[in-house]
Amino acid sequence: MGTAVRRLIFFASLLILWEAVYQLNTVYEFRSDALPSFLLTLQQLYVGFFETQILLDATVQSIYRIVVGFIIAVIVGTAIGIWLARSKIADETVGSLVIALQSIPSIVWLPLMLIIYGSVGTGPIITVVALAGAWVMISNMRMGIKSVDPLLLRASRTMGYQGSELVWKVMIPASIPTFLSATRLAWAFGWRALMAAELLGTGGLGRTLMDARDFYNFELVISIMIIIATIGLIMEYFVFNKIERRVFHRYGLESQG
């Protein structure tokens, strides 16, 4: 039995159990605030995506915010991480500041961003997402570059690699596994920061979740949670895992299969 089949059976069993518990509760009334029916939740998903399109618009807006913030985090975080790894002065000064700032929860940056931007919109939320992912990228890339095998560096210098050529052709390729792990973490941190920021901001899945709670629409709340979890699974198994396997195969670190 393949992995995909096992996962399908597992999740199907959970959904069947969910609906069974709901049906039993309607008969025996164990709890008045039990989870809503899985079928009613599916109905909310259908209505939200294909009729009112509330969930469709919220999902598109959230994905736009996380993608933009993630790209910024990867570019800026990678550049700063390499700079800190290559410059002792920068590492001792800016590096200390990075360590101090990364201990601040990402959502704490939102009030400051609202003051800077002067409004509750997409800009402040994207900035919070970018900050959440950037700290992870900086720390991991810094350690990845610093952890390159010294023997590899000496051999490369013997072959004539110096300066930026050494960084681009030797150190960065050698730190590819660290970079991939960092991007996965940056996405995870950015996604959590996005949901937290949207709870306090406007638009997106987070704000829609709060609105559903305010209207006591339990089915819609569960629907949004399912969307959030599904996006996470898609990114993990269909994006990061596939990229990781291809890159590792390219560099001979893992057989592709």
Cα 43 → chain centroid: 28
Given a contact cutoff of 8 angstroms between Cβ atoms, the answer to whether 26 and 34 are in contact is no
Which residue has 């609105």 as its token pair? Answer: 211
The three-class DSSP label of residue 169 is helix
Which amino acid is located at 64 in the chain? Y
> Using one digit for the tens of pLDDT, what is the confidence trace for 178-220?
999 999 999 999 999 999 999 888 889 999 999 999 888 989 9
Given a contact cutoff of 8 angstroms between Cβ atoms, the answer to whether 204 and 122 are in contact is no
Q: Which CATH number fits domain 61-219: 3.40.50.300, 3.90.580.10, 1.10.3720.10, 3.40.640.10?
A: 1.10.3720.10
Burial pattern 125-153, b for ≥16 Cβ within 10 A else e, equals: bbbbbbbbbbbbbbbbbbebbeebeeeee
Give me the residue spans of the domains in the chain.
Answer: 1-34, 61-219
Residues in the chain: 257
> Using one digit for the tens of pLDDT, what is the confidence trace for 15-36?
999 889 888 888 877 776 667 8
| 257, pLDDT greater than 50 | no
Single pTM value for the model: 0.88
